[in-house]
Amino acid sequence: MNVFRTSLVSGIMLAGCLISLSSHAQDTATQKNMKGLDPKLIDATADPCVNFYQYACGGWLKQNPIPADESSYGRGTELDDQNQLVLKSILEKAASGGSDRSANEQKIGDYYATCIDSNAINEAGMKPLQPVLDRIAALKAKDELPELTAYLDSLGIGTLFDFSTDQDYKDATQEIAEFDQPGLGLPEKGYYDRTDEKSVKLREQYKAHVARTFELLGESPAQAQKDADAVLKIETELAKHSLSNVERRDPQALYHKMTLASFDSSTPSFAFTRYLRALNTPQVDSLNVTEPKFFIGLNEVLTSTDLDSLKTYLRWATIRRTPGTALPQALDDESFNFYGKILEGQPEQQPRWKRCARSTDRALGEALGQVYVAQRFSPQDKQRTLELTHDVEAAMSRDIDQLDWMSPATKIRAKEKLHLVANKIGYPDKWRDYSTLEIVRGDALGNVRRSAAFEVKRQINKIGKPVDHGEWGMTPPTVNAYYNPLMNDINFPAGILQPPYFDARQDDAVNYGDAGGVIGHELTHGFDDEGRQFDGSGNLKEWWTPEDGKKFTERADCVVKEYDGFVAVDDLHVNGKLTLGENIADLGGLKLAFLAYLDRAQKTGVDLTKKGDAEYGGLTPEQQFFVAYGQGWCQNNRPEDLRLRVQTDPHSPEEFRVNGVLVNLPEFQKAFACKTGQPMAPAKRCAIW
């Protein structure tokens, strides 16, 4: 069940790839004194006009090799480390028990304590999972699949498709049911059909991983190999009928509203009406089918695949969708061996406490977040961030006025949308109610399943109801941010609003370069190639004149071609189409932040020609702005992780999120007195906002 759509919701992704935000911190680690701008991180031997990323980050890159339990390590990960230590302290206190614990503290404490107890999980073995496996084994005919998949979905085990709820793209005030293609064992459709040597080898490694997993479940090597072949065959067929991650960037391609009766009749091999009845959803009359062609293909797969192979696939999906922290050690290690070591190049598994803190955050994020916010995010922090946000929004309003390629009619609509953007900062105004979620100390898998079932029920109960605009899609400790086009809101969790991204101790130039750049990034998502297709109320609706839409596309094509030219790793280039929205947001967002800073500097009487003291590396305020932005993206990456990201992640690698942006800003060229023709000051630039 897809409870938070990543194909439309756009995040800054400050700590790496889409699969996870990883952290590295020894159990004995202490809180670091990070800064928004730190001269010690600069590589003074590098010329900022030749390679600004090396100039701003060279010192940090040298001082911070990738830890063994990481696939990459950057400033976002560094901050996430600090958050994890805070969460660890909160969770250990809650886990210690005591009659003074609140109901939420009992839940987060018992969930964490149970997750940490690997000995008990190993001793229980497969027994907690057996009822689910037995239910699959009892499948007697394909006609029983609707009830079985509903049962699995109710536990958070997605199998043949994803079902959830979402805002109606054409009526964003209402929640409707939605069917989507499923996530598969490999990261993206292309992994199943690419024929280059590395891709072929990776598929063989994946099949071997599936076979080893079945062996750990008690199968003979021969049967396990046969079952792995069946899994790969089914997943390959499902991938064939799926949209690629580039195709999924077009919201028009993901909206096909139809009646339930019409949808059900298009898939005679699977009764979706019975599925919904078994899942006990509210009444569904109409729904969105993101990809009708996928479900026609699914119908073909169900028709042509034998029952035993389908049962094998469902067993595999059950194991794959179960967190390793709730499984016996051998299964946990096998999962890490493929998804961590092979796919991401990560040599070692992370310490269990980090993984359990993360699992608790996923299951009970707002219960844990409420305690976190009380310790780490003050009302003053919220107010200062809100002021900065208003400055960036005002800069965008002025920027729209001066655009020479946009007509007055479209400018009016653009400013209408801008003024309707809602700002969510730090944490929700109303915390989620977990009173119906039972967490039992000592029942690790049960806690995982019940928390997943709680979220599934919470989601499907929205069907047919008005949209709750107060809802958040990220938890307060998260080091990230996002824009939601259907809500038309920008969201900044408390976790990211601290050094190095927001540093109340340093000057405005630093904070506008760091936090301002993040705010501008999310705001610009409302006007990137995806976001611009939604109006101020969140509806998928054309509000551009045809001529302005054409001009936007021409300018966006410049960005696509520029990023297509960047080599990320080995023979792989950045995918300009996949990363277009994020690249537009980076470019437009930093420009807006700079305009906002210039306005703030003028109001406060800042001398932009005066060099700062040693704390600011002797840089002028404008130079401080750009260095602070650059240092926010310092990151070392393993080649395996870069390959994965280039093929799946809509965000460009960090070097290009710095250099690829700054080469397009004449303000940067002026600040560092770069000569036209130098690598960071090309004669031709891309510009939209």
pLDDT tens string 511-547: 999 999 999 999 999 999 999 999 999 999 999 999 9
Which neighbouring-strand residues pair with 74?
A: 635
- Catalogue all structural domains in the chain, each as residue range(s) with its CATH number: 145-326 (1.10.1380.10), 381-430+470-664+682-689 (3.40.390.10)
Looking at residue 26, what is its pLDDT? 35
Q: Are 523 and 421 in contact (CB under 8 A)?
A: yes
**Looking at the predicted structure, is the pLDDT value of residue 119 above 90?**
yes
Looking at residue 14, what is its pLDDT? 59
Nearest to 437 by CA among 512, 488, 371, 362: 362
Rounded distance between C-alpha atoms, residue 206 and residue 335, angstroms: 10
**Looking at the predicted structure, is the pLDDT value of residue 476 above 70?**
yes
Looking at residue 30, what is its pLDDT? 59
Catalytic, out of 168, 522, 528, 654:
522
Helix (H) or strand (E) holding 263: helix 260-265
Residue range 556-560: mean pLDDT, rounded: 98
Q: How does pLDDT run across 621-631, given as a tens digit for each residue?
A: 999 999 999 99
Q: What is the pTM of this model?
A: 0.94
Q: Are 457 and 332 in contact (CB under 8 A)?
A: no
Looking at residue 539, what is its pLDDT? 98
Nearest to 659 by CA among 583, 558, 555, 560: 583
Residue range 139-145: mean pLDDT, rounded: 98
Catalytic, out of 391, 393, 399, 586:
586
Q: Are 664 and 587 in contact (CB under 8 A)?
A: yes
Q: How does pLDDT run across 23-38, given as a tens digit for each residue?
A: 333 344 556 889 999 9
**Looking at the predicted structure, is the pLDDT value of residue 168 above 90?**
yes
Peptide bond preceding 65 in cis form (omega within 30 of 0): no
* Mean pLDDT taken over the chain: 95
Q: Are 641 and 345 in contact (CB under 8 A)?
A: yes
Rounded distance between C-alpha atoms, residue 460 and residue 150, angstroms: 12
Nearest to 340 by CA among 604, 631, 640, 34: 640
Q: What whole-number percentage of the chain has pLDDT above 70?
A: 96
**Looking at the predicted structure, is the pLDDT value of residue 21 above 60?**
no
Residue 586 appears among annotated catalytic residues: yes
Q: Are 421 and 489 in contact (CB under 8 A)?
A: yes
Place of tokens 């059900």: 264
**Looking at the predicted structure, is the pLDDT value of residue 22 above 70?**
no
Q: How does pLDDT run across 306-325, given as a tens digit for each residue?
A: 999 999 999 999 999 999 99
What DSSP line would sit under 392-440, residue for residue? HHHHHHHHHHH-SSS-HHHHHHHHHHHHH-EEEEES-SS----TT----
Strands 422-426 and 489-493: parallel
Residue range 266-276: mean pLDDT, rounded: 97
What DSSP line would sit under 49-112, residue for residue? TT-HHHHHHHHHHHH-PPPTT-SEEEHHHHHHHHHHHHHHHHHHHHHT--TT--HHHHHHHHHH
3-state DSSP helix/strand/coil percent for the chain, to nearest 5? 55, 10, 35
Counting every residue, how long is the chain?
689
For residue 605, what are its two tokens? 């009487």
Q: How does pLDDT run across 349-375, given as a tens digit for each residue?
A: 999 999 999 999 999 999 999 999 999
What region, left, alpha or beta, does residue 551 occupy, with left being phi > 0 and alpha being psi -120 to 50 degrees? Answer: alpha
Hey, what's the torsion of the CAs at 123, 129, 130, 131, to 10 degrees? Answer: 130
CB-facing half-sphere around the CA of 197: CA atoms within 13 A: 1
Looking at residue 648, what is its pLDDT? 96
For residue 380, what are its two tokens? 């003053």
Looking at residue 97, what is its pLDDT? 86
Strands 422-426 and 482-484: unpaired
Q: How does pLDDT run across 483-516, given as a tens digit for each residue?
A: 999 999 999 999 999 999 999 899 999 999 999 9
Burial 364-399 (b: 16+ CB within 10 A, else e): bbbbbbbbbbeebbeeebbebbeebbebbbebbeeb
**Looking at the predicted structure, is the pLDDT value of residue 162 above 90?**
yes
Looking at residue 4, what is its pLDDT? 35
Beta carbons within 10 angstroms of residue 440's beta carbon: 12
Looking at residue 7, what is its pLDDT? 57
Beta carbons within 10 angstroms of residue 493's beta carbon: 27
Rounded distance between C-alpha atoms, residue 563 and residue 580, angstroms: 8
**Looking at the predicted structure, is the pLDDT value of residue 638 above 80?**
yes
Rounded distance between C-alpha atoms, residue 495 and residue 80, angstroms: 8
**Looking at the predicted structure, is the pLDDT value of residue 608 above 70?**
yes
List Cα–Cα distances, 398 to 430, 591, 596, 656, in angstroms.
34, 12, 10, 27
Q: How does pLDDT run across 413-448, given as a tens digit for each residue?
A: 999 999 999 999 999 999 999 999 999 999 999 999
Give, as one character, the DSSP assignment of residue 351: P
Q: Are 321 and 500 in contact (CB under 8 A)?
A: no
Which neighbouring-strand residues pair with 175?
A: 167
